[in-house]
Amino acid sequence: MIRTEEMLLNMGPQHPSTHGVFRIILKIDGETIIEAKPVIGYLHRGTEKLAEDLQYTQIIPYTDRLDYISAMTNNYVLCHAVETMMGLEIPDRAEYLRVIAMELGRIVSHLVSWGTYLLDLGATTPFLYAFREREAIINLINELCGARLTFNYMRVGGVKWDAPEGWIEKVRDFIPYMREQLAGYHDLVSGNEIFLSRVKGVGKYTKEEAIQYSLSGPTLRCTGVKWDLRKDEPYSIYNRFDFDVVTRETGDCLSRYEVRLEEIEQSLRIVEQAVEQFPAEGEILAKVPKIIKAPKGEAFVRIESPRGEIGCYIASDGKKEPYRLKFRRPSFYNLQILPKLLKGENIANLIAILGAIDIVLGEVDG
Amino acid sequence: MMEELLHSSPGLVNFGIFFLLGTVLLLVVLGFVTYAILAERKVLGFMQNRMGPNQLGGKWGLLQTAADVLKLLLKEDTIPKLADKPLFIIAPVIAFAPSFMVLATIPFTDKLQFADIGVGLLYYIAISGLTTIGAVTAGWASNNKYALLGGMRAAAQMISYEIPLVMSVLGIILLSGSLNLNDIVAAQADTAWFIFLQPVAFFVFLIAATAELTRVPFDLVEAESELIAGFHVEYSGFRWAFFMLSEYVYLFAMSALVTILFFGGWLPLPFLGFIPGAIWFALKFSMVVFIFIWFRATFPRLRADHLMEFGWKVLVPIALANIFLTALGKELFEYFF
């Protein structure tokens, strides 16, 4: 008598494709997933609680470690929140440096996402190509702030370091190089039949579901919702640049992949314009007191990180430390839809779906 | 010399000679495996913009694989507590032994061959199928869920792709009228390389062979991003090395088979007959190995259900159509000329 049995499979926290210490408890029948239960928290460091005992400038390095693939946007959201509370005017040159750094960070993030996604799907080469370009950008950022991963670059009121001599030219030279490589990426992967068969129509959700699950960033735009905070609630100096909000209609893994690759192109456009408009001289830090104290009250700001909307809420009682600090971490919110998407899929699709959501565990766990 | 040996009566001296030659072949194959791994890493490095092994043994990393094997030998041999011990131990052997057995029938040149049996091709395919049992046994005996899934995938994949593999060579058998690998090469000397006469069969065979070798894009069996390492996830040290070794010996054997079936084995290109057959064989063979490595650098992995679909719904019908067309072509050719 043949008898089949459900099997309980613990995927992670040590698993090559969970992008860190993510764990999913799977109930599987053969290779078909009956139920998936994500378990998070293995990388929880209590950033928000720790911040309550830290001065604002001291919190910035902690934000680097949330979404460590794209630390610039995290730096910015905290500074932006404090600046909003204090009502600071930011010097132009600082704003341009910030935008260039953030957009370069976005390109890095999407490159890593692209490379690791293809690695998850079994192609090893794209990963190394993506990291070659990432290396070029990281070197640029290294020249700017002396760090390659955890930048600690921004300060309340501006940025810590000015661009070294010739840096802007280097960034300008990088843009055509990156465009060329991007075309190569499409040649290598985007039309590959095997790749398409893995991602087309996989992990589909609708516009309504995306909004219900509070998805943001590429995971939202892939369903056709034209929502990008850089356009819809312009912060910093994004209203000075001409760029498109990339959307797709289908809402499957392929559309998310396409949105990310095209966003690299849009980021290049922004960097191109920013480099063009870059003021020859000027301050890089606004006039801020030595010890920063946010006035009593509260503020919530949100910006567009590569993964979605990252928000920062600060409640202050007028001291030099925040009374309460809270981040809206996009990876965490984007992950919510996972159990729904996984039901009835097989393990190979699990990898494709999880990879397309593009989480960073540092951010999920906070 | 081989000819006489093969037809001589069994005796102690003959046994000694065979044993010696077998050892030589073993060393050649092990040497191949050593440097195939190095070549693979170097070629992958070249394609992926990095150096590959470059420390041990000069800038070409010539001793890298030897060091790796040494490391594997020194590694602790772990057996999971709840594993099925006898099966766990015997599985690498089951996977490994057939990979060397198939080498016996492969004619490297018209003189250098160990067993010139009439059904050489059939022997190859039959014996190579045994390795699947090793993979399934390993997957089952490990008592690990990933290993079990990997073992199941191995069984499904290898059985499914054996069929188009056999079907695709039927066209060649029709043309050459023999299952003997020597005769197949000889038939190509009379007409043309079978890649020109049987291009469809070549592509079906190459795809099915890649799947049989469980190499990218058909490496679902050990899909590291899904199943960690598939059926050999619990293996370490030299037991694991046996699986890897068998994989690379199969790469050797399969590339040799492709060379013989489609590229005319040791046959030279026109006007270049002064170069010995062994060198021709080595050249063509290296080219085939390179193709397999190239695949690995280029393709993502297929999904299990697509793999099955592709095997049964695409490759098998194409192979069947190829047999029909070949037979038809042969009849018509004989009728008119």
Taking only the tens place, the pLDDT of each residue in B208-236 is 888 888 887 888 777 777 777 778 888 88
Closest in B216, B225, B297 to A16, CB measured: B225
Minimal C-alpha gap between B159 and chain A (Å):
18
What value, to the nearest 5°, has the Cα angle with vertex A127 and ends A122 and A129? Answer: 135
Q: Which of A229, A287, A221 is nearest to A251 (CA)?
A: A221
Indicate if the pLDDT at residue B1 is higher than 60.
no
CB A27 within 8 A of CB A34: yes
- Say what the ipTM of the complex is: 0.78
Note the pLDDT of residue A236: 84
Percent over 70 (pLDDT), chain B: 95
Tell me the pLDDT band of B4, cut-offs 50, 70 and 90.
Answer: low
Q: What is the pTM of this model?
A: 0.85
- B227 Cβ under 8 Å from any chain A Cβ: yes
- B313 Cβ under 8 Å from any chain A Cβ: no
Residue-by-residue pLDDT tens, chain A, 366 positions: 677 778 888 887 888 777 878 888 988 887 788 888 888 888 888 888 898 898 888 888 988 888 888 888 988 999 999 988 888 888 888 888 889 999 998 999 999 999 888 888 888 888 888 888 999 999 999 998 888 888 888 888 888 888 888 888 888 899 999 999 888 888 888 888 888 888 888 888 888 988 998 888 899 888 988 888 888 888 888 888 888 888 888 888 899 998 999 999 999 999 989 888 888 888 888 888 888 888 888 899 999 988 889 999 999 888 888 899 999 988 888 888 888 888 888 888 888 888 888 888 888 887
- Quick one: which H or E segment has residue A261? helix A253-277
Show residues of chain A in contact with B47, CB under 8 Å. 125
Q: Which of A34, A44, A39, A35 is nearest to A14 (CA)?
A: A39
Considering only alpha carbons, which residue of chain B is nearest residue A120?
B225
Q: What is the pLDDT of residues B281-337, one digit of tens each?
A: 888 888 888 888 888 888 888 887 888 888 888 888 998 898 888 888 888 888 887
For residue A79, what are its two tokens? 């500074």
Contact residues for A269 (Cβ-Cβ < 8 A; gap 6+):
A241, A242, A243
Closest in B50, B217, B225 to A120, CB measured: B225
- B306 Cβ under 8 Å from any chain A Cβ: yes
For residue A113, what are its two tokens? 């996402």
Question: Residue B62 CA to chain centroid, in angstroms?
Answer: 24
Closest in B216, B300, B306 to A118, CB measured: B300
- A194 Cβ under 8 Å from any chain B Cβ: yes
For residue B271, what are its two tokens? 């006007």
- Quick one: which H or E segment has residue B2? helix B2-7
Q: What is the pLDDT of residues B69-95, one digit of tens each?
A: 888 888 888 888 888 888 888 888 888
A16/B227 CB distance under 8 A: no
A347/B226 CB distance under 8 A: yes
Percent over 70 (pLDDT), chain A: 100
Minimal C-alpha gap between A190 and chain B (Å):
11
**Residue with the larger pLDDT of the pair B58 and B302:** B302
Note the pLDDT of residue A313: 92
Note the pLDDT of residue B5: 62
For residue A197, what are its two tokens? 């068969």
A129/B48 CB distance under 8 A: yes
Q: Which of B336, B148, B170, B315 is nearest to B234 (CA)?
A: B148
Alpha-carbon distance values, A137 to A167, A240, A264 (Å): 12, 23, 13
Percent over 90 (pLDDT), chain B: 0
Considering only alpha carbons, which residue of chain A is nearest residue B216?
A122
Q: How far apart are CA A317 and CA A243, in angstroms?
A: 39
A194/B44 CB distance under 8 A: no
- B226 Cβ under 8 Å from any chain A Cβ: yes
Closest in A7, A128, A348 to B226, CB measured: A348
Note the pLDDT of residue B6: 61
Show residues of chain B in contact with A118, CB under 8 Å. 300
Minimal C-alpha gap between B282 and chain A (Å):
28
Indicate if the pLDDT at residue B2 is higher than 60.
no
Q: A-B interface: how many C-beta pairs under 8 angstroms?
A: 79
A119/B225 CB distance under 8 A: yes
Q: What is the pLDDT of residues A168-221, one digit of tens each?
A: 888 889 999 999 988 888 888 888 888 888 888 888 888 898 899 888 889 988
Residue A285 DSSP symbol? B
A31/B304 CB distance under 8 A: yes
Minimal C-alpha gap between A198 and chain B (Å):
7
Closest in A120, A132, A194 to B299, CB measured: A194
- A174 Cβ under 8 Å from any chain B Cβ: no
Show residues of chain A in contact with B305, CB under 8 Å. 346
- A273 Cβ under 8 Å from any chain B Cβ: no
Q: What is the pLDDT of residues A214-268, one digit of tens each?
A: 888 899 888 988 888 888 888 888 888 888 888 888 888 899 998 999 999 999 9
Note the pLDDT of residue B190: 77
Q: Which of A190, A307, A188, A332 is nearest to A257 (CA)?
A: A190
* Residue A95 neighbours by CB distance under 10 Å: 20
What value, to the nearest 5°, has the Cα angle with vertex A259 and ends A257 and A260? Answer: 65
The most confident of A178-187, B190-199, B262-271, by mean pLDDT: A178-187
A194/B149 CB distance under 8 A: no
A125/B297 CB distance under 8 A: yes
